[in-house]
Structure 1
Amino acid sequence: MIIKTVIIAVAGVTAGGKTTTINELKKKMKGAKSLHFDDYDFEGEVDDFHQWVMDGADYNVWNLEPLKKDILEFTEDNEVQYILLDYPFAYKNDWIKPFIDFAIFIDTPLDIAMARRVLRDMCNATADEIREDMSFYLKYARIAYEEMLNTILPNSDYVIDGRMQLDEIVKQIMDIVKINYECKTKE
């Protein structure tokens, strides 16, 4: 019996736990490979997220052909049972939407995501640099985080509480995968 590769998109706000969760899932899932949105440079990539949201938040401005190509390559590999997409858009980009079997949104409160981002990305920053970043976030960037909560969260099949410990998030996703994988193997 040929078993279709199951493609799981994991979305969430920046520093919401997507990459950490994907990396942990990869360790636990036999035949899993991952693709990470942040590893690519895409044509049409947005520089000003505030303006992008103000202009209507068109998720198709990103030309995700390179990611699509890698997804197709993995689906042709008989050893790959699962593709884990560290991917912020759920079903909102037309290049990738047809490939996703289900989308999971890690719903991490914005204050926790912000604290994680500062700890991760600004460990060597001065107090003035951190204050400047916080000011920029409040004035321009927060709107993009809210866009994710207003558009991507309800566009996902499952929502996981991002306040939980990593092992509980992974357990819940593994349970979701098991249910969905059983459905895919019966198709």
Structure 2
Amino acid sequence: MHHSIRSSMFNEFVPLKLRIVASTRFAYILVMMKRFKLIKGGLQTLVISEKWASYRKDDVGKARKVKDKVLDDMWWDKLDYILSFTAPIYDMLRFCVHYKPCLHMVYDMWETIIEKMKLAIYKQERKRLEESFTFYDVIHKILVDRWTKNNTYVHCIAHSLNPRYYSDQRLDEGLNRVPPHKYLEVPQERMKCMRKYFPSQEEHVKEKL
């Protein structure tokens, strides 16, 4: 069966295009998974239609595997699960690439990511928030390592200078939230930033040398 025929058959049942995202693009796997979720109904209608039989003739084994996967509720449940706890990460990074000021929001958004991700995982696994869970611990470590690598003192000082993060309303939004000045990391990184922009006389001499 020619590609054009397959494409025509796909377009007949699915209102959206099945995009092919370059593997070099960030989160391309998540982009594809989100697209699969959107076209789920169309794909299921396609594989149970009479036209699927004509496609099946080319490769019976592959066609059966695709049909079984598309009609597998457990597979779709796993996809929903993955999207649920990766959505906060994806949304934050999408937000940060917009052409508008967001530096002062990065630190708070990072904290929110951890909270939302934990809630999604623990809800799915039916765990209490105070329990330790290996799967969450692994993902949390990956995120912390990435944050440690990319975090800068500018994020911290921008966060600490925003009055919103000292308000009672913001502090009541999540568990164990405290004002920026009570985080150990924020004052330390803020001081690094201040020393960078306002070096001492001794540091001036070192730079000239």
TM-score for the superposition, normalised by structure 2 = 0.26
Higher Cα Rg, which structure: 2
Structure with the higher fraction of residues in helix conformation: 2
Structure with the higher fraction of residues in strand conformation: 1
TM-score for the superposition, normalised by structure 1 = 0.28
Q: Using CA pairs under 8 Å that are at least 6 residues apart, name the structure with larger relative contact order, 1 or 2.
A: 1
